[in-house]
Structure 1
Amino acid sequence: MDATAHPSAADRVYQHVRAGILTRRHADNDLLAEGRIADETGVSRTPVREALLRLESEGMVRLLPKRGALVLPVSAQEWRDVLSTRELVETHCIRVVIESGRAPMLSPALARSLADLGEAAAAGDLTGYVSADRDFHAGIVASAGNSILSRLYGSLRDRQLRMGTANLLAEGGFADSARLRRTIADHRAIADAIAREDVADAVRLTIEHLATAARSLV
């Protein structure tokens, strides 16, 4: 294979394996064989190794010589750290958005995310649901207008996607429809409180929403 094709091939493999990890098609502690990944993506082993090295640098896998790559589970401490960070950032941004008078500008974006959540839930599209969930909360953070907090929140994206998928799975690996309905109700309540410009209620509901996620993940 032409060496100049390796970067694009490696990127294609990276996206393929990363998506499998984020959607839990590759579960925690699964061993990913280089040969199988090469067959799935139609490339040689060289770009596969490049992609796995990149995923290892991001903490998603650990390379095992002559065996492949082990999907690393996210530790309970990391779950707690991510949720604590989210609570700090999101509640601060809610206060800023409402107190600065930006709530009316945010509400249409939250309504779109709520519609996306409903459509994904109806279709049983867990990946789409988790993405819409993240967009809802990221929209609140972005509306606060703090670029540093937005970058910090963005750095949590992959962890949030993995956590969100794990949080919404029922026994057997299928989407838990009852849990989807409950989380939609949570998001709608938060959006309503922001639309009413009720800081205390919006903050309380966000804290309760994240606490529910924490209990489910534990």
Structure 2
Amino acid sequence: MLNASGISAAERVYGEVKELILTNEIPGGELISEGEIAQRCEVSRTPVREAFLRLQAEGWMRLYPKRGALVVPVTDREARDVVEARRLLEGHAVRTVVAAPAGLTTLTAGLRRNLDDHRDVHADDIARFSRVDAEFHQLIVTAGDNEVLSGFYTGLGERHRRMTTASVHRDPAITDRILADHAELLNRIEQRDAVGFDAALERHLTTVHDIPGATR
């Protein structure tokens, strides 16, 4: 059954539960039940079951019959892999923009607007903070003008959001570091310094996400 917006109950539950996972309101390692989510979303168990199956297929949870659904935690390996992929994609995009800077003005203007919006986010609104953070990095990748890489990064951005949210929950003061780092990244792009951008991005990602064994 569709609601007034044309969205099925299963689609709505999927979106709501996924957002709870991405914002760490349901942390990794927590076991949740169909009944609990059905009550929270005010639906029957059938759409919850459909949503859970989809979330399991995407790797966000693991289902256990008669027990519930385990939210899969972010492992150290996954965190390292996400950071490495982001460095490759963002670095490639910046090198592309610097080499053919027709879109450089558009990119830097967009990043500056994003940074202004980011500074205006209330400290307690972690969900919005992580969303605007992800948008900053998505702008960079999109500027690389490669639709395949940009599409890949969209999916990667969800893991990015989850990791950022976890970092802010762990250390709320990290928000100041994120904003300062974004300002530095923007400055490197404005200077057309792709090498400096790569180095600044590596420091930013390994520090914010507390990658084990990383040099800070």
Equivalent position amino acid for 2:149 in 1:
L
- Structure-2 separation of matches of 1:66 and 1:5: 28
Question: 1:110 Cα shift?
Answer: 0.2
Question: 1:211 Cα shift?
Answer: 2.3
In the alignment, is the contact (CA less than 8 A) between 1:167 and 1:217 conserved in 2? no
Equivalent position amino acid for 2:54 in 1:
R
* Structure 1 runs of 4+ with >3 Å offset: 4-7
Question: 1:157 Cα shift?
Answer: 2.1
In the alignment, is the contact (CA less than 8 A) between 1:166 and 1:217 conserved in 2? no
> Is 2:125 the counterpart of 1:130?
no
How many residues are aligned here?
Answer: 208
In the alignment, is the contact (CA less than 8 A) between 1:116 and 1:129 conserved in 2? no
- Structure-1 separation of matches of 2:156 and 2:92: 17
User: Deviations for 1:140-188, whole angstroms, at most 9, x for unmatched residues?
Assistant: 1101101111112112122111111112223xxxx61x21111100000
TM-score, normalised relative to structure 1: 0.89
Aligned with 2:188 (options 188, 193, 201): 193
SS of corresponding position for 1:53: helix
- Structure-2 separation of matches of 1:146 and 1:169: 33
User: Deviations for 1:41-66, whole angstroms, at most 9, x for unmatched residues?
Assistant: 11111111011111111111111111
Q: Which residue of 2 aligns with 1:110?
A: 111
Structure 1 unaligned regions, length at least 5: none
Structure 2 unaligned regions, length at least 5: none
Question: 1:125 Cα shift?
Answer: 1.2
Aligned with 1:207 (options 192, 199, 202): 202
Equivalent position amino acid for 2:48 in 1:
V
- Structure-2 separation of matches of 1:35 and 1:12: 16
Q: Which residue of 2 aligns with 1:184?
A: 179
Q: 1:140 to 1:5 in 2, by over 3 A?
A: closer
Q: Which residue of 2 aligns with 1:97?
A: 97
SS of corresponding position for 2:70: strand
Q: 1:147 to 1:5 in 2, by over 3 A?
A: closer
Equivalent position amino acid for 2:69 in 1:
A
In the alignment, is the contact (CA less than 8 A) between 2:138 and 2:157 conserved in 1? no
In the alignment, is the contact (CA less than 8 A) between 1:61 and 1:72 conserved in 2? yes
- Structure-1 separation of matches of 2:15 and 2:194: 39
TM-score, normalised relative to structure 2: 0.90
- Structure-2 separation of matches of 1:16 and 1:136: 23
SS of corresponding position for 2:169: coil
Equivalent position amino acid for 1:146 in 2:
N
Matches within 5 A, 1:49-88: 49-88=49-88
CA RMSD of aligned residues (A): 1.7
Q: Which residue of 1 aligns with 2:38?
A: 38
Question: 1:217 Cα shift?
Answer: 4.6
Question: 1:5 Cα shift?
Answer: 4.7
> Is 2:176 the counterpart of 1:145?
no
Equivalent position amino acid for 1:20 in 2:
L
Q: Which residue of 1 aligns with 2:165?
A: 165
In the alignment, is the contact (CA less than 8 A) between 1:27 and 1:71 conserved in 2? yes
